A and B are shown apart, each in its own frame.
Chain A
């Protein structure tokens, strides 16, 4: 099973600088790592913007920024976190892991893969350059509803830069999706049938289908809004014969599937980690796959639950479908819990973060499911309750899964282990800070605090909980310092990982850490969804 590193045998190319090598690479592993680094950069930018929001809300009155700047802070916080952190981060994991897990030498279209990546920093620079132009960055919320986002109320170039940047980032996602689907259907190693693919690969496949079908629709909406703002178009202007709610329909037709784009690969990461650290196969492998596909399919029939209060949508249908989509997610919860049940758990950092995901995502799922009931939604629409919900699924869900994935695959990517103690310190700080920040928001929402306000009255009774949330926000920020320190010291002095430090199941662990160019010199036989497990225990099991 042990694999020989190929360094000594690899042909020597004319040596170029490492920088040139990284800037021009078409290797999916280097591109995947660049995705991760780029995403973390925007994670920290988005995090600083969030700290600005929390600082301003810590107590009643305007202390730090004016209202217009505040609008830019929360708009750009959400835009950076969604478009430049969560989605690309998960795509980056996919980029690194999918070809390895299916035993392929690279993605199907390596150069298009590089293009997909380089569109991201370009879009990021474009969207952030809004801070430098007159009128400031985009400030109508990440949803950019017209008429607020129209030229009349937001004449500045920031919104136009936002529209173009999101179109570029969307193009990156679309090209990535084409690449993933082709790679998964065409590049699997002999023996790697569809129902032997790791769950991570399955979730990337379903995610890619969602990207392929949903993202171009958003692009069309972005173009229409751009035309409305700059060339006197009338799509969203009722005075010119347009329909204002049309934007919401187009936007949520993308953005609801997009929340599955932001969580399905995270579920894939968790489903890779739980079996390894429970020493058991994933419970209900096929059920999990069908549940993933069901979420993907149902995801296209629930977008209007974001628009219940517009009075323009057929409430019973969208309410029913929204209740329905909770079912496959519930199936997955059972998959995960049953995988842990009676397993031999080793509480390494990846499992700890995965357990953080399970608990926090469960809260986020349940507090969101209430909103499928139209009366509840009418009461809580656009309150801080919704802010609590999306942070429980996106931070409690996706971000904990991202850190689980980082701790799990860092040894594969770099050849060195991250420090376990620092990882656990980071987890405790993040977990406490996260709940301090976002749990009070449930109560703030129930007591009527609207989202996206820069100030509130001291007599509203929201002051204490807002202060708690702000303290929590800074605890999260402090909790990220051990991570940065951990990465730096582990890259230099971390424990050497070896090929397979976790005794894992899937093919990325059947090659060196980090893997050589083109990944494998030989593959184990693939007779199940756990080929590396089979190879490790093959002799004992009599294969």
Chain B
């Protein structure tokens, strides 16, 4: 991150000319640039190089999201460590990799790849490839949500409910908040897709695409952690 390093006062070449020149934009000369309503309008909003503002903002927001899920994971491992056995008695046989959770995981991971393909496409100015890949991503995201919904219906009917004790509470809270994030991501990508179909993105201007894809990758990574923790991690037998 270049912007974070201490810099000498005037470093030739570090700042574009229009930035250095903004000292000269006076009240009088403003009439010459009627498009810029601000006397410092010529000062680009992300003139310092490095990450663009939207991408940096999204990365920082994702840091807070990581901490939110860290709180949920901390709660999960706290109650798990305090339990005499895990899963608790009568809850041994609910969460299976097949037929639903495993394929759902594969679908979400795949959608991360298609999302990245969309980003690479728009970086090459390939708008058709961008729209195609992003559309596939959105569809895969919706498929994941449908599978998660069916999984919920199945488990709920089998007796694993939110109020059936701590096993159900942790499962539905963690996967539920993740599902809500997937839904948010699908909406975000849907908006980006719509804007893409209107032709609003190009190789030069696609910060929204980069930011939305970062969010989508984050959602994917959280799911991999959740899937590993909830479905793969072996339980603790009684007295173990």
Residues of chain A at the chain B interface (Cβ within 8 Å): 4, 6, 8-9, 11, 105, 108-109, 112, 174-175, 177-179, 181-182, 185-188, 190-191, 193-195, 212-221, 223-224, 227-228, 231-235, 240-243, 246, 249-250, 253, 516-523, 525-527
- Assess whether B27 is in contact with A224, with CB atoms less than 8 Å apart: no
- Assess whether A190 is in contact with B10, with CB atoms less than 8 Å apart: yes
- Assess whether B26 is in contact with A521, with CB atoms less than 8 Å apart: yes
Cβ of A274 to closest chain B Cβ, rounded Å: 24
Which of B38-46, B130-138, B213-221, B222-230 makes up part of the contact surface?
B38-46
Answer yes or no: B28 CB below 8 A from chain A CBs. Answer: yes
- Quick one: which of B8, B20, B166 contacts A240, CB cutoff 8 A? B166
- Quick one: which of A188, A234, A250, A521 contacts B71, CB cutoff 8 A? A250
- Assess whether B56 is in contact with A220, with CB atoms less than 8 Å apart: no
- Assess whether B88 is in contact with A223, with CB atoms less than 8 Å apart: no
Give A516 to B41 CA distance when docked, in angstroms.
Answer: 13
Cβ of A533 to closest chain B Cβ, rounded Å: 15
- B residues 37-80 with Cβ under 8 Å of A? 37-41, 43, 45-46, 48, 50-51, 53, 56-57, 60-61, 63-72, 74-75, 78-79
- Quick one: which of B66, B74, B167 contacts A241, CB cutoff 8 A? B167
Give A215 to B26 CA distance when docked, in angstroms.
Answer: 43
Cβ of A197 to closest chain B Cβ, rounded Å: 10
Which residues of chain B come closer than 8 Å to A219, judged between CB atoms? 68, 71
Answer yes or no: B83 CB below 8 A from chain A CBs. Answer: yes
Which residues of chain A come closer than 8 Å to B6, judged between CB atoms? 193-195
Kindly state the interface size class of chain B when it binds its partner: 35 or more
- Assess whether B57 is in contact with A108, with CB atoms less than 8 Å apart: yes
- Assess whether B75 is in contact with A246, with CB atoms less than 8 Å apart: yes
Give A532 to B86 CA distance when docked, in angstroms.
Answer: 64
Cβ of B54 to closest chain A Cβ, rounded Å: 8
- Assess whether A220 is in contact with B63, with CB atoms less than 8 Å apart: no
- Assess whether A220 is in contact with B163, with CB atoms less than 8 Å apart: no
- Assess whether A186 is in contact with B46, with CB atoms less than 8 Å apart: yes
A526 and B9 contact, Cβ closer than 8 Å, known pairs A188-B48, A212-B67: yes
The closest CB in chain B to the CB of A222 belongs to B71
Answer yes or no: B13 CB below 8 A from chain A CBs. Answer: no
Residues of chain B at the chain A interface (Cβ within 8 Å): 1, 3-10, 15, 19-20, 22-23, 25-28, 30-31, 34, 37-41, 43, 45-46, 48, 50-51, 53, 56-57, 60-61, 63-72, 74-75, 78-79, 82-83, 88, 161-163, 165-167, 169-170, 173, 177
A234 and B165 contact, Cβ closer than 8 Å, known pairs A9-B27, A520-B40: yes
- Assess whether A181 is in contact with B4, with CB atoms less than 8 Å apart: no
- Assess whether A109 is in contact with B38, with CB atoms less than 8 Å apart: no
Cβ of A481 to closest chain B Cβ, rounded Å: 40
- Assess whether A231 is in contact with B57, with CB atoms less than 8 Å apart: no
Which residues of chain A come closer than 8 Å to B165, judged between CB atoms? 234, 240-241
Which residues of chain B come closer than 8 Å to A519, judged between CB atoms? 40
- Quick one: which of B34, B46, B169 contacts A233, CB cutoff 8 A? B169
Interface contacts beyond A177-B64, A235-B79: sample of 8 additional A-B pairs, CB < 8 Å, sorted by A: A9-B28, A193-B8, A221-B71, A234-B165, A234-B166, A250-B74, A521-B27, A522-B25
Cβ of A312 to closest chain B Cβ, rounded Å: 10
- Assess whether A220 is in contact with B7, with CB atoms less than 8 Å apart: no
Which residues of chain B come closer than 8 Å to A178, judged between CB atoms? 57, 60-61, 64
- Assess whether B39 is in contact with A242, with CB atoms less than 8 Å apart: no
Which residues of chain A come closer than 8 Å to B9, judged between CB atoms? 191, 193, 525-527
Which residues of chain B come closer than 8 Å to A109, judged between CB atoms? 53, 57
A217 and B169 contact, Cβ closer than 8 Å, known pairs A186-B46, A246-B78, A527-B9: no
Which residues of chain B come closer than 8 Å to A234, judged between CB atoms? 163, 165-166, 169
Q: Could you jot down 23 A-B contacts, CB within 8 Å?
A: A6-B27, A9-B39, A11-B34, A174-B64, A185-B1, A188-B3, A190-B19, A190-B20, A194-B4, A212-B60, A212-B67, A216-B66, A224-B75, A227-B169, A232-B162, A241-B167, A242-B166, A242-B169, A250-B74, A521-B39, A521-B40, A522-B25, A526-B9
- Quick one: which of A181, A194, A213, A518 contacts B38, CB cutoff 8 A? A518
Which residues of chain B come closer than 8 Å to A253, judged between CB atoms? 71
- Assess whether B3 is in contact with A241, with CB atoms less than 8 Å apart: no
Give A76 to B43 CA distance when docked, in angstroms.
Answer: 45
- Assess whether B27 is in contact with A177, with CB atoms less than 8 Å apart: no
- Quick one: which of A9, A182, A224, A232 contacts B57, CB cutoff 8 A? A182
Which residues of chain A come closer than 8 Å to B50, judged between CB atoms? 186
- Quick one: which of A9, A112, A217, A240 contacts B67, CB cutoff 8 A? A217
Cβ of A77 to closest chain B Cβ, rounded Å: 27
Which residues of chain B come closer than 8 Å to A9, judged between CB atoms? 27-28, 30-31, 39
- Assess whether B26 is in contact with A224, with CB atoms less than 8 Å apart: no
Cβ of A486 to closest chain B Cβ, rounded Å: 33
- Assess whether B169 is in contact with A240, with CB atoms less than 8 Å apart: yes
Which residues of chain A come closer than 8 Å to B7, judged between CB atoms? 193
- Assess whether A242 is in contact with B79, with CB atoms less than 8 Å apart: yes
The closest CB in chain A to the CB of B76 belongs to A235
- Assess whether B162 is in contact with A217, with CB atoms less than 8 Å apart: no
Give A521 to B43 CA distance when docked, in angstroms.
Answer: 11
Which residues of chain A come closer than 8 Å to B74, judged between CB atoms? 217, 249-250
Cβ of B16 to closest chain A Cβ, rounded Å: 10
